[in-house]
Amino acid sequence: MSRVVYLHIGAPKTGTTYLQDRLMLNQASLSQHGVTIPTKNRFVDADLFHFRAALDLLEQDWGGTPGHAKGSWETMVKRVRRASGTVVISHEILAPAKPDKIARVMNDLEGSEIHVVYSARDLGRQLPAAWQESIKQGRKWTFNRFLTKVERGQTWFRSAMDLPVVLGSWGAKLPPERVHVVTVPHDRGPTGNELWFRFCRAFGIDPAWAPLDSERANRSLGIAETQLLRRLNRRLELPMYRDATYDSLIRELLAQEVLVSRDSIPVRLAPERFDYAEAQAERWIDWIKGSGVDVVGDIEDLRPRRPDPEARWRNPDRVSPKLQLGAALDALTVMTREAAERTDADSPVRRLRHQARRLRER
């Protein structure tokens, strides 16, 4: 049996949400062309299944009841072994996996031609996105503290975004031509979706095989919205970032449906932090050129673009009370409505959500 497995391991905040949703939406049409996006069953979306498989592999547990991911990696391996042609596995939490976990992946998928795909974005854009994403996940640190920890190598995000370290680990037993770096373009390109086409080239997929577009994107919050959420996390005084209730109520409803939709000032990297971002880009590019790995896109996309020196930088750690109040009122409005629905035992909305949760847990 001829089988090629593409392991898309991240990095976070590089278009992964869009990619995973589009692959899921086009499972049927892709399968007609010999491309398998593994899933557990018809009741569990492929992206959720891949997330649980990654959690199980890494022996981690968040975003659900304790043990909710147990056995998912073994199920993933069984699905892969049943397939022929091309198989795509994708989740960004795989990037900083330890050598023993990577060795398990290679052993479990033995008999397949394994490729590693890593999407990378310049740190000028990546660091602001990673900070606000960490706040959405329940963290409490300021932007300045987060950046300092990244520069010292003290955060999970740094481990997931350090291209030479990640690919040095994942590609240790692979020939360089089977390690693919997809660069995230600074511009969307003439078609408006250059990153998607780069992913397709990395996976050996014809874009015509996946005609259904995705409307999902893990959009970033603005400075007021991120600051509001950070202060809320502090007020909760609990390590909520692995709690299922926080995940559904705060991250999904409040952050990703309400706050992300507001017209707001984006989080930008401070001018004095660009020296670090540029030094890392130089290091990444030197490593790529020396390693011989395959680059899909323009390697120069990994260099950050400094802002206009005349442009005013807005400090995300010092947001005016007026801006925060507007975000807080929007948040209070939606949370009040949600509370009203949840107190109504006969609410059709509540019943539907309960049924959806039961289906997801199967």
User: How many domains would you assign to the chain?
Assistant: 1
Model confidence at 351, in pLDDT bands (50, 70, 90)? Answer: low
Tens-digit pLDDT profile for residues 290-301: 999 999 999 999
Cα dist from 49 to 19, 89, 143, 310, 330, whole Å = 15, 10, 32, 47, 33
CATH, residue 283 = 3.40.50.300
Q: How much is the average pLDDT of 304-312? A: 91
**269 contacts: CB under 8 Å, gap ≥ 6:** 123, 124, 127, 128, 147, 277, 304
Residue 198 lies in a domain: yes
Q: Which pLDDT belongs to residue 41?
A: 83
Output the furthest CA–CA distance in the chain (Å, rounded).
Answer: 63
- Judged against a pLDDT cut of 70, whether residue 355 lies above it is answered with no
Model confidence at 250, in pLDDT bands (50, 70, 90)? Answer: confident
Model confidence at 261, in pLDDT bands (50, 70, 90)? Answer: confident
Q: How much is the average pLDDT of 125-135? A: 94
Residue 336 lies in a domain: no
Decide: helix, strand or coil at residue 87. Answer: strand
Reported pTM: 0.89
Residue 316 lies in a domain: no
Model confidence at 163, in pLDDT bands (50, 70, 90)? Answer: very high
- Judged against a pLDDT cut of 80, whether residue 331 lies above it is answered with yes
Residue 259 lies in a domain: no
Q: Which pLDDT belongs to residue 246?
A: 76
Residue 229 lies in a domain: no
Residue 302 lies in a domain: yes
Residue 124 lies in a domain: yes
Residue 360 lies in a domain: no
Q: Which pLDDT belongs to residue 1?
A: 53
Structural domain harbouring 70: 3-219+270-309
Q: Which pLDDT belongs to residue 102?
A: 98
Model confidence at 335, in pLDDT bands (50, 70, 90)? Answer: confident
| Residue 112 φ/ψ region, left for φ over 0, alpha for ψ in the -120 to 50 degree band, beta for the rest | beta
Q: Which range, of 5-14, 117-126, 130-139, averages the lowest pLDDT?
A: 130-139
